[in-house]
Amino acid sequence: MGPFTYADYAAMPDDGRRYELIDGELIMTPAPGTGHQWVVGELNELLRRHVGARRLGVVLASPLDVILSKSTTVQPDIVFLDRTRRGLMRKRGIVGSPALLVEVISPTRPNFDRREKQKLYARHGVPHYWIVDPEERHLEGFVLGARRYAKAVEFSGDAFATLAPFPNLAIPLATLWPPELPD
């Protein structure tokens, strides 16, 4: 069956699984692990405080539909809408391209976030894209050029990271990384 549209996606019964719609193809994504959620929670809190205190816009965390087109709906880990893009918010999710999308790498699909989603977000005009890798303790920031992303910065370990679109925020990476957990 397919290609799927957002209307098909929205009409699906809730089966407890997470899905994304990529160019008409329905893709099931496994639930994230503890380390992944640790990073999302810590980074979301840092960004929300920074953005809120300066009234820069809105920061939202997954699960949240970002509807990029009729055939593409994604659920990035963190979404930032600057003041000019707040109008993209709807009851059902975000309709259009946010100012920033953040993906925390899943150990089960690292290439999907690094390659496929990066191409997809560039094609839909998302100006900023961050990739966070908790296993490698690594953060990369990309800025959209004419047709694709250019890596603007990368940070590792316990550095303080400053990335666009937040030039006045130094993210203490040590606070993002989850503790060592048993399998």
pTM: 0.93
Q: Degrees (nearest 5) of the Cα angle 134, 153, 139? A: 5
Tell me the per-residue pLDDT of 119-159, one tens digit each, with 9 for 90 and over: 999 999 999 999 999 999 999 999 999 989 999 999 999 99
The CATH architecture annotation of domain 32-175 reads Alpha-Beta Complex (3.90)
Query: Are the C-beta atoms of residues 4 and 24 closer than 8 Å to each other?
Result: yes
Tell me the per-residue pLDDT of 74-88, one tens digit each, with 9 for 90 and over. Answer: 999 999 999 999 999
DSSP SS3 for 121: helix
- Class of residue 41 by CB neighbours under 10 A (exposed 0-12, middle 13-18, buried 19+): middle
> Domains of the chain: which residue ranges?
32-175
